[in-house]
Amino acid sequence: MRSVGIFLLPTLVFLVAFTYLPFGVAALEGISALGSLFQQENLNALRVTALYTLLAVPLSVGLGLLAAVAVEGTSRLRLLARALIFHPVILPTVAFAAVFLYLLNPLGSLQGLLRWLGLQNPLGDPVGAFLAVVLVGVLKDAGLYMLYYLAGLQALPKEVLEAARVDGAGRLATFFRITLPLLSPTTFFVGIMATLGALRNVDHIFILTKGGPVGATDHLLYRVYTLGFEYFDFPQAGALTLVLLTALTALALLALPRLERGVHYDG
């Protein structure tokens, strides 16, 4: 067909205006403040973001996989379990996180449970607050990753699994030697999604910890907000935005070749 190119126009115009042009705007704004990146608070934000990603990604992906294996099938109970695990995905993060304000309140009704876990005042302690933020992030997203894994599990070649069983391989062995390797494209994809999520979802930090205490949950994006929209220091916020965009670009370069293959040949 000819003249199909014109159909791309609406998307491309907005894409350039609000995705690629902003890249440049951030650079223009931030270039003068690049030196400030080495300030202690900004280095701290980098560290927090890296730690958060390193912890939240494997946990949410792992939970998603476990959940998928646990609820695969069609019994009524499994469908119910599936709905339960998935439901935080459709909730506003701020609403989901607000419930944890009560659950984690040091002197609230769950005091006993928290103490038993050795967490007396989770949100008032740097480590506890960080873990709380990770926990909420993981529980919020795991359901989505479960869906991807369920789809992945369904697409597995049944013959191979059957063959393994016939060969007398145990359930665990089958899972680790056969299922998991076969799922690796899904795992790669889910891992990328989770990393992306860890870099861009900070809504729960606004509700739970506001970046504190002592900066323990001061995620890069949260700091961009504080700098830009509370201190109105646009150059520094711009410089941090550039860091975030660099990380995202690196992720894209890592993922795009494989993603593209998927997009091209699936169908």
Partner 1 sequence: MTGRQALPLARTRKRLARAASFLREVPALLASLPFLLIATFTLIAAFTPTADLNRGQLGTLTLENFRLAWQAADFPRLYGNTMLFTFGLLLVQLFTVTTAGFALAHLKARGRNGPFYLILAQLFLPASALILPNYILIHKLGLSDTLTALALPYVASATGAFLLRQGFLQIPRELIEAAQVDGATSWQILWRVLLPLVRPHLAAFSLVSLVYHWNEFLWPLVVIQSPEKRVLSLGFASFARSAESGMEWGLIAAGAILVALPMVLGFLLFQRGFVEAFTRSGLKG
Partner 2 sequence: MNMKGIGIGLWVLLGLGLGQQTTITFYYPVGVAGPLARFIESYVSDFEKQNPQIRVNTVFGGNYEENQAKVVAAIRAGNPPDTAILLSQQLHTFLAMDAIEPFDPYIARDPELKKAVQDFFPAFMMNSTLDGKVWSLPFQRSTPILYYNKDAFREAGLDPEKPPATWEELVEYAKRLTKRDAQGRVVRYGVAIPTEDRSTWLLEGLVIQAGGLLYDPAGKGCKVLVDTEPVRRAMQFKADLARKHGVSPEGVIAWGTTPGDFAAGKVAMIYHSTGSLGFIRTNARFPFGTAFQPKLVRYGVPTGGANFYLFKGSDPAKREATLRFIKFMTSPELQARWSIDSGYVAARRSSWNLPLMRDYVRQWPQALTAREQLAYAKAELPVYNLQQVKDIIAEAEQAVVLGRKEAREATREAQRRVDEALKPFCR
Contacting partner 1 within 205-264 (CB under 8 A): 206-207, 221, 224-225, 228-229, 234, 237-238, 241, 244-245, 248-249, 251-252, 255-256, 258-263
Residues of this chain that bind partner 2 (CB under 8 A): 105-107, 115, 120-121, 123-126, 128, 210, 212-215, 229-232
Dihedral sign, Cα of residue 187, residue 192, residue 193, residue 194: positive
42 makes contact with partner 1 (CB under 8 A): no
Judged by CB under 8 A, the chain residues 79 through 108 that form the site for partner 1 are 80-96, 98-99, 101-103, 105, 108
Cα–Cα distances (Å) from 178 to 24, 68, 150, in that order, read 46, 16, 16
DSSP labels, 222-239: HHHHHHHHTS--HHHHHH
**Which listed option, partner 2, partner 1, none, makes contact with residue 232 (CB within 5 to 8 Å by class)?**
partner 2
Question: Residue 261 Cβ, how far from partner 1 at the closest point, in Å?
Answer: 6
Q: Do 113 and 105 touch, CB atoms closer than 8 A?
A: no
**Which listed option, partner 2, partner 1, none, makes contact with residue 258 (CB within 5 to 8 Å by class)?**
partner 1
Q: Do 61 and 146 touch, CB atoms closer than 8 A?
A: no
Dihedral sign, Cα of residue 187, residue 191, residue 194, residue 200: negative
Q: What are phi and psi of 157, to 5 degrees?
A: -70, 115
58 makes contact with partner 1 (CB under 8 A): no
Question: Residue 225 Cβ, how far from partner 2 at the closest point, in Å?
Answer: 10
147 makes contact with partner 1 (CB under 8 A): yes
**Which listed option, partner 1, partner 2, none, makes contact with residue 160 (CB within 5 to 8 Å by class)?**
none
Question: Residue 209 Cβ, how far from partner 2 at the closest point, in Å?
Answer: 9
**Which listed option, partner 2, partner 1, none, makes contact with residue 121 (CB within 5 to 8 Å by class)?**
partner 2
Q: Environment class of residue 198 by beta-carbon count within 10 Å: exposed (0-12), middle (13-18) or buried (19+)?
A: buried
Nearer residue to partner 2 within complex by CB, 62 or 124 = 124
Helix axis angle for 234-265 and 184-200, nearest 10°, is: 160
Distance CA 267, CA 254 (A): 23
Judged by CB under 8 A, the chain residues 13 through 32 that form the site for partner 1 are 13-15, 17-26, 29
DSSP labels, 57-74: HHHHHHHHHHHHHHH-S-
**Which listed option, partner 1, partner 2, none, makes contact with residue 237 (CB within 5 to 8 Å by class)?**
partner 1
- How many chain residues bind partner 1 (CB under 8 A)? 104
**Which listed option, partner 1, partner 2, none, makes contact with residue 90 (CB within 5 to 8 Å by class)?**
partner 1
